[in-house]
C-alpha cells in the first residue's frame, strides 16, 4: 500500500513537472523578447550617445544581460572582434542560428532579429536609431502576442500536468 | 582564410593592421605580392569594378588574383561591390555610425596610423558636406615614420633649455609632417644637452601622431599630449588652458584664427612649432596670413624643406628677426 502511495506521488509529481516544463516555453519566450528589447535599447544608447564600436558594445551588453539573449550578443561580438571577415549580418544570424537550442523564441521573433542584423552597423547614427526603434516596436508587438498566448497556455499546461498525473495515478491504483 | 601573423621586419609591420582592413580574398593577393615591392609599398588602391592596384617606389602596378603584379589591366583582379562593402565594415570596425565625422572628412585612420581615403557621392546639406554615400574607392596609404629626420634641424631650434618659435615651410609631400613628428619626439624625450619638455600636439588631420582611438600610433615622445582631430586654433587654446605644455606643435597653419591662437600661446609663454605650405620665404610672403605672422616677427626660426637632395632635405634656416640665413648649404 505504501509503495502504491509513493508511486502515485511520484507520478503526480513528474507529470506536474512536465506540465510546468511545457508552460515554461511560453513564459520564457515573453521574457526573452523583453530581454532583447532592453538589450536593443542599450545598444541604441551606446550608438547614439557614446559612439561605441559595435563589437565592444555587443560584448558589454551581452555580459550584463546574461541568459540566451546575452549569449547571442557575446557570440556576435566575439566573431566581429576576431576580424575574421564576417559581415555583421552574417555574424548575427549565425549566432542566432547557433544558439537556437538555448532560446525559446519562435520563428517569427528570430526573423525580426535576423532582419535587424542586416542593417546593423551599416549606416549613420540616424539610420541605426531608426532601425533599432523599428525592431523594438516589432519585438514589443511580438511580446504582447506572446503574453496573450502565455496566459492561455501556461495555466492550461500546468493544470493539465497536475490533473493528468492525478488521473494516471487513479487509473493505476 | 588568410591568417595574419605579426611580422618583426620593420618595413612590413604595416601588414598586420592593413590586412585586417581587407576582405579575405584581397588579403591573399596582397600577401602574394613579391617581397621587394611589399617592403616599400606606398598605396593600395581599391576601386569598385576596376583593377586592384598598388604603388611602390612611385610606380603603379595592377595586381592579379594570385598576387602577381602585371602591367596589363585585363588580367588584374577587379574589386566587387561585396569587397567594397566588406572593407567599409572592416575599417570602421563594423560601426560606420561611429565614423560620421571621419567619413565627412574623407578618411579613416587605422591602427598603426595608416590612413584609408575614401571617395563616393557627397551628400550636401545647405551647401555643406553632410556625409558620403555610395563609397566606391579606397586609397590605403601606408605610413612609415622616419626616426631621426629632425636630427639636422634640432640644433637650430634650441638654445640651452629654450626652444625657439619655429615655422617650417615646405611644398607638399616633402616630409613636413614626418619632421614635425620627429621634433615632437626629440623635444619630449629629451636628448644629451637638452632637458625634455612637455609637448602638446594639435593634430587636426590625425597625421602627426596618427592616432587610433585616441592613442598615438607614431613615436611622438613620452611627454606629449595629443588633441586628435581638433581644429588648430581651438586646440591650441584648449592645450594652453588644460595641459600646460612648454611647446605646442601643429600642422599647416594658414587661417587668421590660427594667428590669434599663436599670439595667445606666445603670451602664455609657450613655444610654438608650426608648419605651412610654401616653397620659400618669398612664397610665404605672398600668403596674407603667413606674411602677417612674419611681419610680427613672431617666429624666431624659419626652416625651409625641399627636395634638392631627396625628400626631406633641409634647404634653408632663417632667423626670424632679420631673416638672415644660418644654414649655408642644404643638408639631408
Cβ A125–B97 below 8 Å, yes or no? yes
| Predicted pLDDT of residue A97 | 92
Each residue of B167-177: b (16+ CB within 10 Å) or e?
bbbbeeebbbb
* Beta bridge pairs of residue B41: B56
Cβ A88–B100 below 8 Å, yes or no? no
Task: Report residue B7's pLDDT band, with 50, 70 and 90 as the boundaries.
Answer: low
For B160, counting Cβ atoms within 10 Å of its Cβ (0-12 exposed, 13-18 middle, 19+ buried), the class is exposed
* Residues of chain B contacting residue A123, judged by C-beta atoms under 8 Å apart: 96-97
Cβ A54–B94 below 8 Å, yes or no? yes
Mean predicted confidence (pLDDT) in B262-291 = 88
- Backbone dihedral region of B297: left (phi > 0), alpha (psi from -120 to 50 degrees) or beta? left
In angstroms, the CA B36 to CA A56 distance is 37
pLDDT at B1 over 60: no
Do strands B162-163 and B166-170 pair parallel, antiparallel, or not at all (unpaired)? unpaired
Mean predicted confidence (pLDDT) in A116-128 = 88
Q: Specify the residue for cell string 574607392.
A: B137
In angstroms, the CA B234 to CA B232 distance is 6
Share of chain B above pLDDT 90, in %: 30
Tell me the per-residue pLDDT of A139-154, one tens digit each, with 9 for 90 and over.
999 999 999 999 888 8
Mean predicted confidence (pLDDT) in A153-173 = 88
| Predicted pLDDT of residue B229 | 83
Complete edge-to-edge strand list for the sheet that includes strand B166-170: B224-228, B199-203, B247-250, B271-277, B166-170, B301-306, B313-319
Q: How far is CA A69 from each of CA A75, A95, A99, B173, rounded to the nearest angstrom?
A: 10, 10, 9, 52
* Residues of chain A contacting residue B131, judged by C-beta atoms under 8 Å apart: 124
| Predicted pLDDT of residue A54 | 92
Please tell me which residue, B273 or A82, carries the higher pLDDT value.
B273
* Residues of chain A contacting residue B20, judged by C-beta atoms under 8 Å apart: 83
Which one, of B30, B209, B41, lies nearest residue B141 by Cα? B41
Mean predicted confidence (pLDDT) in A92-101 = 91
Question: Chain A closest CA to B85's CA: distance in Å?
Answer: 9
Which one, of A66, A75, A115, lies nearest residue A95 by Cα? A75
Which one, of A40, A45, A46, A32, lies nearest residue A110 by Cα? A32
Per DSSP, B199 falls in state E
Domain B10-141 of CATH type 3.40.50: no
Q: How many CB pairs under 8 A join A and B?
A: 52
User: Residue B84's closest chain A neighbor by CA?
Assistant: A87
Mean predicted confidence (pLDDT) in B290-304 = 88
Mean predicted confidence (pLDDT) in B124-135 = 88
Nearest Cβ partner for B96 among A80, A87, A123: A123
Domain ranges, ordered by start, for chain B: 10-141, 154-319
DSSP assignments along B127-151, one per residue? TEEEEEEEEEEEEEEPP---TTTTT
| Predicted pLDDT of residue B245 | 93
Q: How far apart are the first and last CA of chain B?
A: 44
Topology alike, domains B10-141 and B154-319: no
Q: How far is CA B317 from each of CA A8, B239, B303, B314, B330, rounded to the nearest angstrom?
A: 102, 28, 4, 8, 9
Do strands B199-203 and B247-250 pair parallel, antiparallel, or not at all (unpaired)? parallel
pLDDT, averaged across chain B: 87
Query: Chain B: which residues have CB within 8 Å of chain A?
Result: 1, 20, 23-24, 85-86, 89-90, 92-98, 100, 131
In angstroms, the CA B278 to CA B253 distance is 11
Tell me the per-residue pLDDT of A51-77, one tens digit each, with 9 for 90 and over.
888 999 999 999 998 889 999 999 999
Mean predicted confidence (pLDDT) in B78-102 = 89
Complete edge-to-edge strand list for the sheet that includes strand B53-56: B69-70, B59-63, B53-56, B41-47, B128-141, B115-125, B107-109
pLDDT at B172 over 80: no
Cβ A80–B94 below 8 Å, yes or no? yes
Question: Chain B closest CA to A161's CA: distance in Å?
Answer: 48
Domain ranges, ordered by start, for chain A: 2-172
For the domain bounded by B154-319, which CATH number is listed? 3.40.50.300
Cell of A100: 537556437
Mean predicted confidence (pLDDT) in B135-154 = 86
In angstroms, the CA A55 to CA B99 distance is 15
Task: Report residue B183's pLDDT band, with 50, 70 and 90 as the boundaries.
Answer: very high
Question: Chain A closest CA to B40's CA: distance in Å?
Answer: 25
pLDDT at B180 over 80: yes
In angstroms, the CA B94 to CA B192 distance is 46
Q: How far is CA B57 from each of CA B36, B37, B65, B314, rounded to the nearest angstrom?
A: 10, 8, 22, 22
Question: Chain A closest CA to B220's CA: distance in Å?
Answer: 26
Nearest Cβ partner for A85 among B23, B93, B96: B23
Tell me the per-residue pLDDT of B223-257, one tens digit each, with 9 for 90 and over.
999 998 888 888 999 999 999 999 999 988 888 88
Amino acid at each position: 500500500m505504501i509503495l502504491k502511495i509513493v508511486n502515485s506521488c511520484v507520478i503526480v509529481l513528474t507529470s506536474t513537472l512536465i506540465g510546468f516544463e511545457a508552460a515554461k516555453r511560453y513564459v520564457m519566450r515573453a521574457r526573452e523578447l523583453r530581454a532583447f528589447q532592453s538589450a536593443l535599447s542599450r545598444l541604441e544608447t551606446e550608438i547614439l550617445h557614446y559612439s561605441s564600436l559595435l563589437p565592444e558594445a555587443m560584448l558589454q551588453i551581452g555580459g550584463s544581460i546574461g541568459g540566451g539573449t546575452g549569449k547571442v550578443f557575446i557570440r556576435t561580438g566575439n566573431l566581429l572582434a576576431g576580424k575574421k571577415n564576417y559581415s555583421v549580418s552574417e555574424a548575427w544570424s549565425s549566432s542566432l542560428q547557433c544558439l537556437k537550442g538555448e532560446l525559446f523564441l519562435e520563428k517569427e521573433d528570430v526573423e525580426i532579429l535576423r532582419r535587424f542584423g542586416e542593417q546593423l552597423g551599416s549606416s549613420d547614427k540616424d539610420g541605426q536609431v531608426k532601425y533599432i526603434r523599428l525592431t523594438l516596436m516589432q519585438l514589443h508587438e511580438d511580446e504582447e502576442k506572446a503574453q496573450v498566448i502565455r496566459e492561455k497556455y501556461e495555466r492550461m499546461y500546468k493544470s493539465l500536468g497536475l490533473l493528468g498525473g492525478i488521473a494516471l495515478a487513479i487509473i493505476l491504483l | 582564410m588568410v591568417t595574419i601573423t605579426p611580422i618583426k621586419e620593420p618595413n612590413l609591420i604595416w601588414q598586420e593592421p592593413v590586412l585586417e582592413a581587407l576582405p579575405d580574398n584581397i588579403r591573399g593577393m596582397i600577401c602574394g605580392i613579391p617581397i621587394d615591392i611589399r617592403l616599400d609599398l606606398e598605396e593600395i588602391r581599391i576601386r569598385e569594378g576596376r583593377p586592384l592596384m598598388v604603388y611602390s617606389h612611385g610606380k603603379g602596378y595592377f595586381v592579379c588574383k594570385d598576387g602577381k603584379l602585371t602591367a596589363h589591366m585585363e588580367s588584374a583582379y577587379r574589386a566587387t561591390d561585396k569587397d567594397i562593402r566588406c572593407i567599409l565594415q572592416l575599417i570602421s570596425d563594423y560601426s560606420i555610425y561611429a565614423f560620421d565625422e571621419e567619413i565627412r572628412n574623407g578618411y579613416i585612420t587605422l591602427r598603426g596610423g595608416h590612413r584609408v581615403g575614401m571617395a563616393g557621392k557627397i551628400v550636401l546639406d545647405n551647401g555643406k558636406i553632410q556625409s558620403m554615400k555610395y563609397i566606391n574607392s579606397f586609397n590605403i596609404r601606408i605610413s612609415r615614420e622616419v626616426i631621426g629626420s629632425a636630427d639636422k634641424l634640432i640644433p637650430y631650434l634650441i638654445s640651452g633649455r629654450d626652444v625657439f618659435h619655429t615655422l617650417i615651410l615646405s611644398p607638399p609631400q616633402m616630409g613636413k609632417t614626418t619632421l614635425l613628428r620627429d621634433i615632437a619626439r626629440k623635444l619630449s624625450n629629451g636628448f644629451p644637452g637638452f632637458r625634455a619638455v612637455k609637448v602638446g600636439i594639435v593634430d587636426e588631420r590625425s597625421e602627426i601622431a596618427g592616432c587610433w582611438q585616441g592613442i598615438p600610433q607614431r613615436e611622438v615622445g613620452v611627454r606629449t599630449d595629443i588633441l586628435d582631430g581638433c581644429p588648430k586654433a581651438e586646440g591650441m587654446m584648449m592645450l594652453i588652458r588644460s595641459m600646460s605644455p612648454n611647446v605646442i606643435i601643429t600642422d599647416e597653419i594658414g587661417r587668421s584664427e590660427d594667428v590669434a591662437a599663436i599670439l595667445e600661446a606666445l603670451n602664455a609663454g609657450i613655444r610654438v612649432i608650426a608648419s605651412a605650405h610654401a616653397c620659400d620665404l618669398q612664397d610665404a610672403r605672398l600668403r596674407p596670413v603667413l606674411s602677417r605672422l612674419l611681419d610680427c616677427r613672431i617666429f624666431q626660426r624659419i626652416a625651409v624643406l625641399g627636395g634638392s637632395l631627396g625628400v626631406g632635405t633641409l634647404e634653408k634656416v632663417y632667423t626670424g628677426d632679420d631673416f638672415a640665413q644660418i644654414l649655408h648649404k642644404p643638408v639631408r
